[in-house]
Amino acid sequence: MRKPNKTEASEAPRVSPDQPLPRYLTLRDGIYWFKRKVPAAARRADSALPEQYWRSLNTTELNVALLRLPAEQERFQGMVDKAMASKANDLVVSAPARGAGTTKYLLESHIPALVARFEYEVLRTDDEWRKALEREDRAGEVEFLMEGLEQRYDQAAGEDYRGVEETVAQLLEGERLIAPPGSKVREALLKEVLAKDIELMEAQLGRLRGKITPTPRVAPPAPRELPTMLDLYEEWAKAQKNVRTRETYWSFVEEFEALNGAVPFVGIADEHVFRYLRYLQQQGVNRATAKNRLGALATLVRDAQSVRLISQSASVPFENLDFSGFPETEASELRRPYDMSELRCQIGS
């Protein structure tokens, strides 16, 4: 136990032992300690740092502990700053631990891209095959397509999707997507593929009769390559040199994807945003903090629009939200460290 030196003895504030302890000050076995959680970003930068930082203030007297507290806070902040500085030259923050691309489970937001890829492959193959046909072969192909179209019309009228089951299975395997048989999302894909197959057979028939349907020049993006919030973050982070800012935004994206999965940005719906809001409410954050986190995600969207990573006309799902369910002040904010001016004010009172 270290006794107060002459300076501490003369400057130590005289406070009532009944007053609430300030934040980061705790009493253990009669001795006052400085206790604070080490930020996750600092622990990622320096794996030797503990999750909780404890340091004895070496006194049983509250007034002396209060006097030593600011110096300990400075020491703690210096430790954190040193850890973060070791990563200051890293211009790219590591991504959250998940595979590249979107989730492997088929989502409704995957379907348009999946169907577009199907259309591209059919038209591209048709271009190569049709140009090699002789006149008599074209006549036979017209008859074949007309018969196939009648079958597809009957299937669509009866909502019978068995005729495209094999096609859908091949599409899913080729794009590394999973959709359990009987699931609603698989049924939605079957319906879209049947409709697109009819459209493509009509286009092929028209091509054989001289009505050209152009093939897209470039293959559409793969469904699992659709930009996610992580992709938006990585694009934004390229121009950000402040490590703390990047780490903070990363943590928001990490939280959002932990709750909702690696959803393509085009598939982010109200349910995903509300799930994140409920999570923040359960964490007890205040209104300003909640607005800050959703505002950060909105910033990533606006940045992605500016570089055309996503459509410039896309709506921003993290804006115009209702934060009335969040308290103005967190309970933890009611207890915070005293600075020296506040301590001297208490002495004077």
What pLDDT score does 95 carry?
A: 45
Residue range(s) occupied by CATH 1.10.150 in the chain: 226-334
| Contact present, 240 and 88 (Cβ < 8 Å) | no
In the numeric block, the tokens 């982070």 are attached to 237
Span 124-162, pLDDT tens digits = 999 888 888 888 888 889 999 999 999 999 999 999 999
CATH code for the structural domain at 226-334: 1.10.150
Task: State yes or no: pLDDT of 319 exceeds 80.
Answer: yes
Confidence of residue 99 (pLDDT cuts 50, 70, 90): low
Average pLDDT over every residue of 230-237? 95
H/E element holding 290? helix 287-306
Ordered DSSP codes for 135-177: HHHHHHHHHHHHHHHHHHHHHHHTT--GGGHHHHHHHHHHTT-
How does 323-335 read in b/e, with b if 16+ C-beta sit within 10 Å?
eeebeeeeeeeee
What pLDDT score does 22 carry?
A: 82
What percent of the chain clears pLDDT 70, i.e. is strictly above it? 85
Span 29-67, pLDDT tens digits = 888 888 898 887 788 778 888 888 998 988 888 888 888
What percent of the chain clears pLDDT 90, i.e. is strictly above it? 56
Cα torsion 23, 28, 31, 37: sign:
negative
CA distance 349 to 346: 5
What pLDDT score does 27 carry?
A: 87
How does 85-113 read in b/e, with b if 16+ C-beta sit within 10 Å?
eebeeeeebebeeeeebbbeebbebbbbb
Confidence of residue 345 (pLDDT cuts 50, 70, 90): low
What's the pTM?
Answer: 0.63
For residue 27, CA distances in Å to 4, 53, 60, 105, 333 come to: 18, 15, 9, 51, 19
What pLDDT score does 24 carry?
A: 84
Q: Average pLDDT, whole number, for the chain?
A: 85
